[in-house]
Chain A
C-alpha cells in the first residue's frame, strides 16, 4: 500500500513538473511565425526586402546621373511613414532595415532623419563649447538631402464567421527636395487569410 502511495506521489510530482514552466527557444529570425495573424516581423521583413529591390532597380538613379562623369551619389533622408491601417504597426522596424540596406548598397548616401538630426545638431552645438577648436565640428557643413523617402501603410479587413481576410498596402515614394517631383514610387501588397 505504501509503495502504491509513493508511486502515485512521484507520478503526481512528474505531472506537476511537466505542467509548469515556460519554454523559450532561440530561432532563426527568418523563420515565419504567425501567431495572432496580425502584422509581424515577417511582414516587416517582406516590405524591407521588396522596397529596397524596387528602389535600387528604379530609373531615378540613372536620371540622377549614375554612370556619368563626376557623378555624386544621391543623398536620401528617410522620413516618416503614416500608419492608416487598423493595427499598431511599428513602421520604424522596416524603415530602419530599408535605410541600412540602401546604405550598404553603396549607391546612395543617407542623411540623418526621423528625429536623429536634432541629436546630431545638439552634439555639434556642445562641441563648440566643450571640444578643442581643432576637433570641434563646424556649423553649416551638413550635406543637404536630394531626396526624401516617405510613405504610408493602409489596410482593409474583411471578416465572415471564423475567417478573416486582411489586405495591407505599403507605399513608399522618393521625392526630389528641390523640384518636389516624385522620382520613384514603390508598393507592396500583402494579403492574409486567418482562420479560427
Chain B
C-alpha cells in the first residue's frame, strides 16, 4: 500500500473509532435503555427507580426539557399524576420560552455537533407534553384542566406551522381533537363535543390517511353521528351518513348504563439512529451525521377490551411512530443545512490550524503543520454526531375503546393480539356517566 492511501485509511479509521468512542460515551439513548426495558416488562415503578438511579439526562443543563418530559411521564405511568403535573407544566413553559437562536449554543454546536445544542424537542414531542398533562388531569378528575391542555395543542401547532416556510405534515392532531370531544361529552357540553369530533374526523380524512396510513376510524364517524342525533341535527346527520354509508348507526345507550372510554398506550417509540456519510482526501476527513428513524417498521398490534359480557375491538387513534418519522423528514432539510454549515466550519478550523502551525514552525507543507491540520480534521469528524435525543418513554401508539356498560363496578380485561395483557379491577361506571381511563401496555 502506498503512503497516501495508507494515510487516508488511517484517518478514516481513526475518525470512525473516535466517533464510536464518543458516541458510546454515555449517549442518552444508551443510558435510557434499561428504563425502556422496565417499561417493556410492564414495571413503571422500576423504570422510575432506574431513571433516578442514573439514567436521567442532566436535569439543569441543555437537556433540562428532556429530563422534565421523561420524569413527568414516568411518574404518570407509575400512577403518580399529581407529582407528574408540576414537572410537565414546567416542561410546557420551558418549551414555550425556547425561542430564537442562542448564539453561544449554535457556535458550540458548529464546532462539535447538534447534540451540543439545547434540547428543544420535535413538534410532536411538544404536543405530547400537553397530551400527557391532559391524561394526568383526567386521572385526577380535573376534566376542565385536561381541556385546557387539549386547547393548547391546537394553538401550539398553529404557531409552529406558521413559523415554517414550507408546509409541514404534522399540522393538527386528530387524536387530541377526539380526546377533546370525549372530555366535552363527559362534562355534558354536547355542542362543543360535536365540534371536536368533527374536527378530529377532518384531520383523519385530510392528514392521517394520506401521511400516516391511518384511515378515518369508523368509531369517530359513529361519535359524530351519535352527537348529531342527540342534538337533533338531522341535516348534519344525513350529510355524514351519506358520506360514510358503511358506518354503524350510533348505538342507543341502554337505560342504567354509562360509558367507559379506554385509551391504551402501547409499545415504545423507536430510538432514532444515525446515518453518516464520510469522505476523505489524503490529509482530511469529512463526516456528516444525521438522525433518522429506523427502517424496520414497528408492528401494529390489535387490542380487544372485554367487560360485563361485552367485547370491543379498540381502534388505532394515533400512530406516534409514523408521526415521528414524518416529523423527522420535515426537519431533515433544516438538519442538513446545519450539518453542511458545521462541515464547512470544521474544514475552516483544520485549514486555519495548519496555517498557524506553518507560521509557528516556519515550514510550509511541513510534517508538523500537515499533521496538525489532519489531527484537527480528525477531531472534527470524530465529534460529528447525529442528535439522537428524543422523548423515549413515549408510547408507540394509542388505541381507544368505548363501551356502554351497566352502572356499577366492573373488571375490564385487555387483550393484545388475542392474549390477555392487562386487567383493570374495580372500574366504577355511573349511570349516564363517562369514565375515562389511560392504560399502558407493551
Residue B152 lies at the interface, judged by CB distance under 8 Å to chain A: yes
Residue B155 lies at the interface, judged by CB distance under 8 Å to chain A: yes
Decide if B163 touches A86 in the complex (CB within 8 Å): no
Q: Which residues of B contact A85 (CB under 8 A)?
A: 148, 151
Decide if A36 touches B152 in the complex (CB within 8 Å): no
Shortest CB-to-CB span from A128 to chain B, Å, is 30
Instruction: Give complex CA distance A160, B162 in Å.
Output: 8
Question: B93, B97, B148, B162 — which one has the most chain A CB atoms within 10 A of its CB?
Answer: B148
Decide if A157 touches B155 in the complex (CB within 8 Å): yes
- With A159-B162, A161-B163: A86-B93 Cβ-Cβ less than 8 Å: no
Instruction: Give complex CA distance A120, B248 in Å.
Output: 50
Decide if A86 touches B151 in the complex (CB within 8 Å): yes
Closest to A155 in B: B151
Tally of chain A residues near chain B (CB < 8 A): 13
Residue B145 lies at the interface, judged by CB distance under 8 Å to chain A: yes
For the side of the interface on B, what is the size category? 10 to 19
Cross-chain contact of A82 among B89, B144, B159 (Cβ < 8 A)? B144
Shortest CB-to-CB span from B177 to chain A, Å, is 14
Q: How many contacting A-B pairs (Cβ < 8 A)?
A: 29
Q: Which residues of A contact B144 (CB under 8 A)?
A: 82-83
Cross-chain contact of A88 among B145, B154, B155, B163 (Cβ < 8 A)? B145
Instruction: Give complex CA distance A85, B152 in Å.
Output: 9
Cross-chain contact of B100 among A36, A86, A157, A162 (Cβ < 8 A)? A162
Decide if B99 touches A83 in the complex (CB within 8 Å): no
Instruction: Give complex CA distance A88, B142 in Å.
Output: 11
Within 8 A of A (CB), among B128-179: 144-145, 148, 151-152, 154-155, 158-159, 162-163
Within 8 A of B (CB), among A32-59: 36
Residue-wise interface mask of A (79-91) relative to B, using a CB-CB cutoff of 8 A (1 in contact, 0 not): 0001101111000
Q: Which residues of B contact A36 (CB under 8 A)?
A: 93, 96-97
Residue A130 lies at the interface, judged by CB distance under 8 Å to chain B: no
Cross-chain contact of B152 among A86, A159, A161 (Cβ < 8 A)? A86
Decide if B97 touches A159 in the complex (CB within 8 Å): no
Q: Which residues of A contact B154 (CB under 8 A)?
A: 86
Shortest CB-to-CB span from B151 to chain A, Å, is 4
Q: Which residues of B contact A160 (CB under 8 A)?
A: 162
Residue-wise interface mask of A (180-191) relative to B, using a CB-CB cutoff of 8 A (1 in contact, 0 not): 000000000000
Instruction: Give complex CA distance A86, B180 in Å.
Output: 13
Cross-chain contact of A86 among B89, B97, B155, B162 (Cβ < 8 A)? B155
A sample of 12 cross-chain residue pairs with beta-carbon separation below 8 angstroms, ordered by A number, consists of: A36-B93, A36-B96, A86-B148, A86-B154, A86-B155, A87-B148, A88-B148, A159-B155, A159-B159, A159-B162, A196-B97, A196-B99
Chain B contacts to A: CB under 8 angstroms: 89, 93, 96-97, 99-100, 144-145, 148, 151-152, 154-155, 158-159, 162-163
Chain A contacts to B: CB under 8 angstroms: 36, 82-83, 85-88, 157, 159-162, 196
Given contacts A36-B97, A162-B100, 14 further A-B contacts (CB under 8 A): A36-B93, A82-B144, A83-B144, A83-B148, A85-B148, A86-B148, A86-B152, A86-B154, A86-B155, A87-B148, A159-B159, A196-B97, A196-B99, A196-B100
> A-B pairs with the 4 shortest C-beta distances?
A86-B151, A159-B159, A196-B99, A86-B152
